[in-house]
Homo-oligomer: A and B are copies of this chain.
Amino acid sequence: MARPQMGDERREQILEAFEKCVIRKGVAKTTLSDVAKESDLPRSLVRYFVGNRADMVDLLINRMIERAEDGLAHLRPKSRPQTTQDFVDFLFENTFANDLSNNVVGELWYMSERDESIRKRLAAMYGRVIHLMVAQMEADGIGSSAGQRRDAANIILSLVYGQASFRELGMPGMAGKAAHTHALTIIDTLPTKSKKKTSNKETK
């Protein structure tokens, strides 16, 4: 690619327009022409940069994964190593607190009911979150077995997702801190061994 930088900028511009359309109309009803109009770019360019709708859905998922991993990589205060609690805080406070992400996620979940490949990609995305949470617990010496850590991570992710979903419905009582506090209690009550606080090397 001759001018990758330029390409990245345009792609970003187009994806942002695509996300706006998705929130307004849903993925199924969003066309390349809609995105062209929203981004103020010619349809041919939209197609050139992001391909067809299936490609856009792929890019959308990749973008969400990137955002999540980016957030997870930078969540700790710089003064100390990252802990499992930071991770849980991040899930409750950031991941599902973004209206745009929630809308896009809602779209993807809906599509996944009839699209095996989207279902698999979503499952991989959430599987990655669980994997990272388990790794963090292990680094913190939390939990006495891999199975125990995995169960805790599954439960916490379900809790985060359920709470965020009901909050979207506007249910009173789902916006409080109870679930978040409970998730931290789950971590706190797991057995710990030799509390090596983290096995990560400081990278900065």
Binding site for B on A (CB under 8 A): 26, 103, 106, 109-110, 112-114, 119-120, 122-123, 126-127, 130, 150-151, 154-155, 157-163, 165-166, 168-171, 173-174, 176, 178-179, 182, 186
A114 to chain B minimum Cβ distance, whole angstroms, is 8
Contact among B113, B122, B159, B173 for A162, CB-based, below 8 A: B159
Main secondary structure of the interface of A (DSSP, over half): helix
| Inter-chain contacts of A166 with B (CB < 8 A) | 123, 126, 154, 157-158, 161
| Inter-chain contacts of A112 with B (CB < 8 A) | 168-169
| Inter-chain contacts of A176 with B (CB < 8 A) | 151, 154
A95 to chain B minimum Cβ distance, whole angstroms, is 13
Interface pair B173/A150, CB less than 8 Å apart: yes
A152 to chain B minimum Cβ distance, whole angstroms, is 8
A68 to chain B minimum Cβ distance, whole angstroms, is 16
